[in-house]
Structures are given as C-alpha cells and as structure tokens.
Amino acid sequence: KNQVEQSPQSLIILEGKNCTLQCNYTVSPFSNLRWYKQDTGRGPVSLTIMTFSENTKSNGRYTATLDADTKQSSLHITASQLSDSASYICVVSGGGDYKLSFGAGTTVTVRA
C-alpha cells in the first residue's frame, strides 16, 4: 500500500528561527514529490515539485530535499515569518494513473 508519513505532526517555532519537516514514503514506482502549503480553511498551494533525479529545490525561504534511495524528503523553512503558520503537506505521485498519495501534514505555528 502506498503511504506517506510526515513528522512531526505539529511544531511551534519562534519568528526568525529555522525548522525542518520530514516526509517518508513507500510509493512505488515513484514519479515526483510535491510539497504544498495549506493555510487554515484554504486550498493547498504548491511550494516545490521534485522528480527522481532532483536532490534539492528552493522556493524563496523554502528548500526541499529528496533522497530517492531512502525514500525520504524534507522541507526546510529558513528565517520563519508569522505568515509561515500553516499546514505543510507532502504529496507523492507514481503509484498509478490518478494516484496521488497525501501525507497528513505538519502544522507549523510561528510565534512572535
């Protein structure tokens, strides 16, 4: 069964600090991995997309890494801002035609 596990479930950080979110997956075959940011009560918005051959990709203060051998990805948030408070969802595709496997998300709270 294709699964995507995210950790931690939630975290609280102070404004200006860095944090790293983890994503482990068992989806096979693997096509690509996406990180989405979802504000409370809103739809997810894409941050990064990575394929098998890509190890790292950045989008402003967000940097995603991928280790396809160990089937692990991380999302690093640098110099956090209050607006970074949201749920971050890891999404892996490749298990079939329409099959996208979603993680449950990590809820990040940034405090002033």
**Interacting residue ranges for other proteins, rule: CB under 8 A:** 4, 9, 31-32, 34, 36, 41-46, 49-51, 54, 89, 93, 96-105
Find the shortest distance in angstroms from Cβ 20 to other proteins: 20
- Is the Cβ of residue 80 or residue 88 nearer to other proteins in the bound state? 88
Find the shortest distance in angstroms from Cβ 77 to other proteins: 20
Integer angstrom CA distances of residue 52 from 32, 58, 108: 6, 16, 27
Find the shortest distance in angstroms from Cβ 80 to other proteins: 23
Contacting residues for 41 by C-beta, under 8 A, at least 6 apart = none
- Is the Cβ of residue 57 or residue 76 nearer to other proteins in the bound state? 57
Element (DSSP H or E) covering residue 100: strand 100-102
- Is the Cβ of residue 13 or residue 54 nearer to other proteins in the bound state? 54
Find the shortest distance in angstroms from Cβ 15 to other proteins: 26
Residue 98 φ/ψ, nearest 5 degrees = -100, 5
- Is the Cβ of residue 51 or residue 58 nearer to other proteins in the bound state? 51
Q: Name 59's bridge partners.
A: 62
Contacting residues for 7 by C-beta, under 8 A, at least 6 apart = 21, 22, 24, 106
